[in-house]
Amino acid sequence: MRLVTNRGVTPADHSGATTLPDWEHVHTFLETARRGSLRSAAENLSVSYGSVKRRIDELERQLGIKLFMRNVEGVSLTSEGQEAMVKAEQMEAALFGLMRAKERVTSPFDGEVKLATTEAFGTFWLAPRLIELQRSHPKLLVDLNCAMRSADVLRLEAHASVQLSEPKGADVKVMRLGRIHSMPTAAQSYIDVYGAPKSLEDLPKHRLALQIAEQTGTQEIYDRFYPGVPQLGWVAFRTNNSTALLWAIIKGIGIGWSPTYMHAMGPQMVPIDLDLVFSFDVWLAYHSDAVQIPRVRRMIDWVKDSFDPQKYPWFRDEFIHPRDLPKEYQGPPLVNLFEGAAWSKRDAAV
């Protein structure tokens, strides 16, 4: 990629224009362009703001063009920057194609597989079950990345991604795995003190625990059902972390929303029967070339099996009340997945 123009760059800047750009600098440029902010790019790349700025400055010097215009809201591409981004994306696609080609010729089930998912799925559903995959293929290194932000499988942030928003992209293979259903729940200790709400109108008299995260849509749901009602004085606990939310509910801090599958996994929680069940589709995304890599294909098959609605009724399209899950689920007790953890069989609700 070699673009040279006089706009926005002093003559001294052209001294390095024939230098081949460093991929790290190009990658930083792409992240900044996609996010519209040097600071946001730095956070996603896990580097300092100063490092991002230096890489962008150096790339501009090497190419002899001005890539960004800076403003109070962040950065925007110049016309030269837009042209450079097209070339940089072609460079990125070619590099990732080479990386996938290399992976296809390595040992079939040796090496690293990268799976991205939400924090709750990663912590409570997939991580405890990974021993099944690893024992079958002991030379696999499983890199499990848990975050609410969906991973970009086209750019090899992960080989596969399990997420709550429908993936997009021409080269992305997409499969709907099932649905999760989230309903209000509370600890018995909370109910002993405050009682349980009998209706939607009764709920504001209670204490809420909320997870505010992009894919959960909690803030939008709150605003739809209780427009203009301030959270202060009603919401007792708010977090972006599903593990923290679960423990807060278990300890009795308030009423919170929990996926119904949690009731089958051990912690004592009492479902609250209000007309406030929210359902979310669960999506699997992977690059169209990924299934040509045997170890990645094996991981994808394992993920599909882990969300099989026939085996695990809480992933079915229809809502099944937690009290009915024991008769619908025919597998081994799921609480066994957490032996040695903070809740035990003695504490199991199912």
Does the pLDDT of residue 205 top 80, yes or no?
Answer: yes
Counts of helices then strands in the chain (DSSP H, E): 11, 11
Output b/e per residue, 218-230; b: 16+ Cβ within 10 A.
beeebeeeeeeee
Give a yes or no: residue 224 inside a domain.
Answer: yes
Domain final residue, candidates 42, 71, 98: 98
Residue 213 belongs to a domain:
yes
pLDDT value, residue 307: 96
- Tell me which of 77, 98, 119 is where a domain ends: 98
Structural domain including 235 reads 180-279
CA 190 and chain centroid, separation = 31
User: In this structure, what CATH number is given to the domain that contains residue 83?
Assistant: 1.10.10.10
185 within some domain: yes
- Residue 112 in domain: no
Q: Would you say residue 45 has pLDDT above 90?
A: no
Structure tokens at 349: 């609700």
Q: What is the mean pLDDT of residues 240-253?
A: 92
Q: What is the pLDDT of residue 343?
A: 52
DSSP string, 86-153: HHHHHHHHHHHHHHHHHHHTS-TT-EEEEEEE-HHIIIIIIGGGHHHHHHHSTTEEEEEEE-SSPP-G
Instruction: Give which of 161, 74, 154 is closest to 114, Cα–Cα.
Output: 161
Q: Is 71 helix (H, G, I), strand (E, B) or coil?
A: strand
Picking from 137, 117, 139, 136, the residue whose alpha carbon sits closest to that of residue 127 is: 117
Which of the two residues, 260 and 268, has the higher pLDDT score? 260
Counting Cβ atoms within 10 Å, is residue 131 exposed (0-12), middle (13-18) or buried (19+)? Answer: exposed
pLDDT mean over 302-315: 95
User: Which one is predicted more confidently, 222 or 142?
Assistant: 142
Final residue before a domain boundary, out of 245, 279, 313: 279
Assess contact for 14 and 21: CB atoms under 8 A: no
User: Distance from first CA to last CA of the chain, Å, rounded?
Assistant: 60
Residue 91 placed within a domain: yes
Q: What is the pLDDT of residues 147-174, one digit of tens each?
A: 867 667 666 688 899 998 888 776 788 9
State the total domains in the chain.
2
Q: What is the mean pLDDT of residues 243-270?
A: 90
> What is each CA distance from 332 to 108, 180, 265, 350, in whole angstroms?
31, 20, 11, 11
Whether 261 and 234 have beta carbons less than 8 Å apart is answered as no
Q: Is residue 103 part of a domain?
A: no
User: What mean pLDDT is reported for the chain?
Assistant: 83
Query: For residue range 80-133, what is the model confidence (pLDDT) as tens digits?
Result: 888 888 888 888 777 776 666 665 555 566 788 899 998 899 999 999 889 888
pLDDT of 328 > 70? The answer is yes
What pLDDT score does 333 carry? 79
Cα–Cα dist 95/74, whole Å: 28
pLDDT of residue 176: 96
Instruction: State mean pLDDT over 7-21.
Output: 50
CATH of the domain at 235: 3.40.190.10
Task: Evaluate whether residue 305 is within a structural domain.
Answer: no
> What kind and span of H or E run contains 285?
strand 278-287
Where does the pLDDT of residue 7 fall: very low under 50, low under 70, confident under 90, or very high at 90 and above? Answer: very low
Residues 278-282 have a mean pLDDT of 93
- 111 belongs to a structural domain: no
Task: Look at residue 290 in the predicted model and tell me its pLDDT.
Answer: 78
pLDDT of residue 106: 56
Name the H helices within the chain: 23-35, 38-45, 49-63, 79-104, 119-120, 130-136, 188-194, 218-225, 242-250, 294-306, 325-328
